[in-house]
Amino acid sequence: MALSDGAHSSRYKWIALSNTTLGVLMATINQSILIIALPVIFKGLKVNPLQSNQTGLLLWVLLGFNVATTVLLVMFGRLSDMFGRVRLYNLGFLVFTLGSVLASLTWSKGTGGEVELIIFRVIQGIGGGFLFSNSAAILTDAFPQNQRGLALGLNQVAAIGGGIIGLLVGGALAATGEWRWVFLVNVPVGLAGTVWAYIALKEVSRPQAKQRLDIWGNITLTVGLLGIMLGLTYGIMPYGQHSMGWTNPTVVTEIIVGVVSLIVFTIIENFSKQPLFNMNLFKIWPFTAGNLASLLAALARGGLQFMLIIWLQGIYLPLHGVSFAHTPLIAGLYTIPQMIGFLIAGPVSGILSDKYGPRLFSTVGLVVSAVGFYLVNTLPINFNHWIFWTYLLIIGLGMGLFSSPNNAAIMNALPARYRGVGSGMRATFMNAGQMLSMGMFFSIMIAGLAMKLPGTMMTGLVQHDIPATVAAKISHLPPMASLMAALLGYNPLGNLLQQFGILGKIPTAQARILTGRHFFPSLIGGPFQHGLSLALFISAIMLLVAALFSLLRGRAYIHNDDVDATATVAPQTVTVTSPLGTGTKVAFDVRTGSAYGQETRFQTSVLRGSTSESQLGSNLESTQNADTEFRQALRQFQQGGSTSQSQQHEDIMTDAGYREALQSFAHGTTRGMVQRKTFADNEYRSTLRKLQEQNRELASERVDENGRQLEENGRQLEMDDDAYREEVKQ
């Protein structure tokens, strides 16, 4: 997908940044606003978290948006490459706004209301998929190479900052007691963004309408991701006498189907002519290393926010006398240091990575985040809030240092025509990591609770005059239900004691303690910390592994926007010497003879007929002169002789490579890939840039007319060169 003229205009690039930042901010606020507003939402829907199946539905209210977005990201990236990134980005704004309106209008109560809310959250997720899959690609198209780190850094600040702002907004809206405002707050922003995007954004990249959707790839990817997500969701639900459902045949089947589907998906993509998940892109090591680091970082931190909210809202704040009505807002305020750290480090690291490269900043950021996770792990359940804020600030600084340079490095490595699907792949890895992180954190937390909670609850109840037989039964409350009850500010002991007929038989003072706001949080605090400690330790290890991938990504690798990316993604290259005696080293694709490099440069004298400032209308005569000069130069080179078979092989490779490179240019195309060390001649670079400017302006008008004559020239050139090679061999 080539870039149109004016792609990097100073005015348009800032319009693109501001609009995509608004879209990402809105979508990420929506992801986190629900976490902290769940108590008021479920109270409004009249849902009891201890009722059968309520925990699973509660999780799907939370995860429905992320599941829909993750499953659809890559497909939407392909659709955007086909029909236009801006067009589908605009559609994302509209669909997201529609989903927000519907969610605010949820009319049913109880289970019916939960199901309706899940459906509307999925609609929001579809809109979010369009926004996430295109924002980075639109920015990469709009900004030149030396400013992409800044642009993507600011966009990523909006993404992470939106998650934290959502906690504050959700807390403030929850304090009003009116849960519908949690969804209505998105509507004016969505409407403004839709109109603004329609008016101001333009298609910078030319859509590839002739591409086709990879139907079987879409099906297998969707089934695979959904299977794993369903398995993870219900795997943390109780099953039979077990605290979790990993032995549930349905859960096992879902995970197996998901894994097998993803394996089949990778096989299909390797053989598909137009794959959904372009596996060749993984041959670009900076793209692969960046995505692996992003996946591991998302796995490490994706569930952290949820666990912190449970810790604050369900345990810490109640123990400090904060009323139920105010815990959401106060919990959101406690996370502000993390946002401050990200807002400080994100833009700065983006700017510096444009100048010094992304590897240092992204690697250090991951290590700093790992240190922050370790420090949080050392806190007691009833911590000093200043120390807590300091540790969150460290985590925010680390995430800011990592995210901006890493995203810029991933997108910079991609040819323009692959940025839509590449952006979708990047976002899929990140969202899938966050989704898997939720399952991982919950599984670890529940495992820790299952080990400690029954004994702790049994002891606490007996100490407050509850008969041992009743205490034993209550202590088997599923750990997941305990977590959800804590999150929703709900003390289940009053309901459970009443069910067993004990509440009215114990002293009033003891009953008041057991059903008050302090007893249940203090009871589960120790077991909760045990599970959280294990989860944070594993997350810190994953961040260090991610730092290793970031370190091994190599130096700055930037694909040249100005070169039309029609070449194979990962060529098999050899290095040969210019036949004109300049000593310049050039990398050629062994299979096609095409030149590859960060700035593909050709000898000026060979192509001087085409470097004229005249229009491409005279390019036919110029190219014929270039062909003649090329043959003369090649003949002189070959007459110099070669003394070894290896040198002869290199000479023949040089001939084929230069011939194919010349023919490729004569057809109005230049096939190039990034490989910074391959070239050193500045004159070649300036020559090619002039040629590319002419090609973009006039190639579409004259390529058909010139093409036929140039093909004939090429065939004649091949015949001449065959004769030359025979002479060399003799």
Length of the chain: 730
Q: How confident is the model at residue 666 (pLDDT cuts 50, 70, 90)?
A: very low
Q: Per-residue pLDDT for 713 more than 70?
A: no
Q: What is the DSSP string of 284-305?
A: SHHHHHHHHHHHHHHHHHTTHH
pLDDT of residue 559: 53
pLDDT tens sequence across 267-326? 998 888 878 778 888 888 889 999 999 999 999 988 888 888 889 988 899 888 888 778
Q: How confident is the model at residue 622 (pLDDT cuts 50, 70, 90)?
A: very low
pLDDT of residue 34: 84
The residue that leads in pLDDT, 288 or 723, is 288
Give the span between the Cα atoms of 353 and 356, in whole angstroms: 5
pLDDT of residue 697: 58
Q: Calculate mean pLDDT across residues 376-392.
A: 93
Least confident of 134-138, 198-202, 260-264, 386-390: 134-138
Q: Per-residue pLDDT for 488 more than 90?
A: no
Position 430: which residue type?
M
Q: How confident is the model at residue 573 (pLDDT cuts 50, 70, 90)?
A: very low
Report whether 344 contacts 400 (CB < 8 A): yes
Looking at mean pLDDT, say which of 232-236, 465-469, 554-558 comes out highest. 465-469
pLDDT of residue 250: 92
Least confident of 76-85, 90-99, 187-196: 76-85
Angle between helices 419-463 and 385-412 (to 10 degrees): 160
The residue that leads in pLDDT, 674 or 494, is 494
Structure tokens at 501: 């007929």
Least confident of 296-305, 440-449, 594-603: 594-603
Q: Per-residue pLDDT for 256 more than 90?
A: yes
pLDDT of residue 530: 85
Give the span between the Cα atoms of 485 and 39, in whole angstroms: 9
Cα separations (Å) of 211 from 214, 272, 427?
9, 12, 21
Q: Per-residue pLDDT for 149 more than 50?
A: yes
Give the span between the Cα atoms of 321 and 326, in whole angstroms: 10
Q: Per-residue pLDDT for 542 more than 90?
A: yes
**Percent of the chain at pLDDT exceeding 90:** 16
Q: Calculate mean pLDDT across residues 235-249.
A: 81
Q: Per-residue pLDDT for 395 more than 90?
A: yes
Which residues are bridge partners to 596 per DSSP?
Answer: 587
Classified as helix, coil or strand, 237 is coil
| Of 154, 118, 171, nearest in space to 21 by CA | 154
pLDDT tens sequence across 578-591? 443 444 444 433 33
Long-range residue pairs from 687-691, CB within 8 A, at least 24 positions apart, any chain: 687/601, 687/602, 687/604, 687/607, 687/611, 688/599, 688/600, 688/601, 688/602, 689/562, 690/611, 691/607, 691/610, 691/611, 691/665
Structure tokens at 3: 């870039």
Looking at mean pLDDT, say which of 464-478, 545-559, 690-704 comes out highest. 464-478
| Of 162, 601, 553, nearest in space to 339 by CA | 162
Q: Calculate mean pLDDT across residues 407-436.
A: 80
**Percent of the chain at pLDDT exceeding 70:** 73
Classified as helix, coil or strand, 670 is coil
Q: Per-residue pLDDT for 104 more than 80?
A: yes
Q: Per-residue pLDDT for 451 more than 50?
A: yes
Q: Per-residue pLDDT for 619 more than 50?
A: no
Which residues are bridge partners to 577 per DSSP?
Answer: 585
Strands 585-589 and 595-596: antiparallel
Q: How confident is the model at residue 539 (pLDDT cuts 50, 70, 90)?
A: very high
Number of Cβ within a 10 Å radius of residue 102: 17
The residue that leads in pLDDT, 330 or 628, is 330
Number of Cβ within a 10 Å radius of residue 602: 26
The residue that leads in pLDDT, 313 or 665, is 313
Give the span between the Cα atoms of 95 and 121, in whole angstroms: 11
Phi, psi of 170 (to 5 degrees): -60, -40
Q: Calculate mean pLDDT across residues 645-666.
A: 47
Structure tokens at 602: 């050709």
Q: How confident is the model at residue 593 (pLDDT cuts 50, 70, 90)?
A: very low
Q: Per-residue pLDDT for 11 more than 50?
A: yes
Q: Calculate mean pLDDT across residues 488-507.
A: 80
Give the span between the Cα atoms of 548 and 465, in whole angstroms: 55
pLDDT of residue 659: 54
Q: Residues 455, 460, 461, CA angle at the centre, nearest 5°?
A: 100
Q: Per-residue pLDDT for 221 more than 80?
A: yes
What sign for the dihedral angle of Cα 349, 350, 355, 360? positive
pLDDT of residue 78: 78
Q: Calculate mean pLDDT across residues 682-699.
A: 58
Q: Calculate mean pLDDT across residues 699-724.
A: 57
Report whether 210 contacts 274 (CB < 8 A): no
Cα separations (Å) of 592 from 79, 449, 576, 660, 682?
29, 61, 14, 7, 25
Q: Per-residue pLDDT for 574 more than 50?
A: no
Q: Calculate mean pLDDT across residues 641-656.
A: 44
pLDDT of residue 730: 54
CA distance from start to end of the chain: 45
pLDDT of residue 434: 82
pLDDT tens sequence across 172-201? 888 887 889 989 988 998 898 889 888 888
Report whether 103 contacts 183 (CB < 8 A): yes
Helix (H) or strand (E) holding 426: helix 419-463
Give the span between the Cα atoms of 607 and 629, in whole angstroms: 9
Q: Which fold has domain 10-213+276-450+525-551?
A: Growth Hormone; Chain: A; (1.20.1250)
pLDDT tens sequence across 523-532? 888 888 888 8
Average pLDDT score, the chain: 75
Give the span between the Cα atoms of 588 and 574, in whole angstroms: 6
Q: Per-residue pLDDT for 541 more than 90?
A: yes
Give the span between the Cα atoms of 267 and 12, in whole angstroms: 41
The residue that leads in pLDDT, 254 or 151, is 254
Least confident of 6-10, 275-279, 691-695: 6-10
- Separation of CA 394 from chain center: 22
Q: Per-residue pLDDT for 420 more than 80?
A: no
